[in-house]
Structure 1
Amino acid sequence: MPEVKEQILTTSLDLFLSLGFKSVTMDEIASRMGMSKKTLYTYYKNKGQLVEESSLHKCHQVCECIDQIVDADTENPIEELYSIKKYVMKELKGDDSSPMYQLQKYYPDVFRKLTDIQFAHIDECIRKNVNKGIEQGLYRDNINVGFIARIYFVGMQGIKNLNIFPSEEFPAQELFEQYLEYHLRGIVTPQGRKILNKITNSNHD
């Protein structure tokens, strides 16, 4: 991808995640880039195209980095999930749900594409994680791997619903921390529980 186009995608997404997909204008993006709006339109014909391409670009980038964490195989599967959560929260600015709420409301086709990509990736990622945990004796061996992967994804989508989990009552960082612990406590063995307790106790200190 040409350097200028990639810079526009990066700058745009930074604004979208900070201020919301609906709120940010092409004027603001052009101003942040230090270019005229006319020049911006030579790269992207409208805001909808910019929303889609910047979102998909970031989604693929995040998926690739998550794969690197999983494939590095330097941590046990419990620590692996916490490393993934930490990385995602950092990359998506704490995963404030309001920008994604705007994306779903005003750009539903883009939101569906992202959801499909995320499901395919998370399904594979959690399947690998669960199988690794079973092999290491940290997860129970009588769980349905496919079910766990899907219920993890459904839960992740569910906690982003601002109608159910309003951000003023459930701050994103705490909510994702609680959800991950909830997920793991349902599948760990006594050996895995010791590792999980150590992690959660240190996080609460």
Structure 2
Amino acid sequence: MSDLRQEILSKTRELFMRYGLKSITMDDIARQLGISKKTLYQVVDNKADLVHQLFEKHIEDEKEMMHKILSESHDAIDEILGIGRFVIQKLRELSPTVVYDLRKYYHESWAKMEALHQQFVYKVIKANLERGQKEGLYRTNLNPDIVAKLYVGKASIMVDENLFPLRDYNKELLFREFIFYHIHGVASPKGLTLFEQYIEEGRL
């Protein structure tokens, strides 16, 4: 990725997170970067293309960070808690306005990005479930494929404003509750003991 493209995506992300997608124009972005609109349009076709590139990069960055978490984890429980910490951090950074604007004004980009994200999360969770079974930390009679898809589905529900409106539900607490719900559904007695130990140590 060129330095200019990197700079454009970085500044745009900052502006979008602060003000939302709809209110920021290409003029605003060019002005904040100190470049002409002509230069900006040499890198992106239009605002929709910019949004798409930005969230494509977001997913790539997320994958990179997730692989780091997986490689450094001691066991399946430690891994899922590491994922949990990462998601909570991202929820703190995410503006509800961005999600709303994406869904309403950039539905096609949102749908594509959401599909890619769900495929990646499914693979990560399925691998975690299989690892946990091998380590004796998860129930051997669960179906990793089905449970991973249930996980993805439930995670999607958490950003549903109709079911969990932001004014009534703190997203961090909601996701924390989801992790507890998930682990208690899949863990073996050995896994639950380790999970409780990790929680006492403040790993989530």
| 1:16 match | 16
**Pairwise CA RMSD:** 2.2
Shift of 1:14: 2.5
| 1:53 match | 53
Choose 3-12 or 85-94, whichever is displaced more: 85-94
Choose 26-35 or 144-153, whichever is displaced more: 26-35
| 1:165 match | 164
Amino acid at match of 1:57: K
What SS does the aligned partner of 2:81 have? helix
| 1:191 match | 190
Contact 2:22 2:101 in 1 (8 A): yes
Once residues 21 and 127 of structure 1 are traced to their aligned partners in structure 2, the CA distance between those partners, rounded to angstroms, is 33
Q: Counterparts in 2 of 1:100-139, with a 5 A limit?
A: 100-139=99-138
Amino acid at match of 1:13: R
Shift of 1:204: 10
Task: After superposition, give the CA deviation of every residue in 1:5-34 in whole Å (9 maximum; x if it has no partner).
Answer: 111112212322333222322233223323
Once residues 150 and 45 of structure 2 are traced to their aligned partners in structure 1, the CA distance between those partners, rounded to angstroms, is 39
Would the alpha carbon gap of residues 98 and 157 (structure 1) be closer, same or farther in structure 2, given more than 3 Å must change? farther
Q: Counterparts in 2 of 1:67-78, with a 5 A limit?
A: 67-70=67-70, 72-78=71-77
Shift of 1:61: 1.6
Question: How many residue pairs were aligned?
Answer: 204
Moved >4 Å (runs of 4+): 201-205
TM-score (norm 2): 0.90
What SS does the aligned partner of 2:168 have? coil
Task: After superposition, give the CA deviation of every residue in 1:87-111 in whole Å (9 maximum; x if it has no partner).
Answer: 2343464444442232112111101
Amino acid at match of 2:8: I
Once residues 3 and 76 of structure 1 are traced to their aligned partners in structure 2, the CA distance between those partners, rounded to angstroms, is 38
Give ranges in structure 2 of 5+ residues lacking alignment: none
| 1:66 match | 66
Once residues 175 and 16 of structure 2 are traced to their aligned partners in structure 1, the CA distance between those partners, rounded to angstroms, is 21
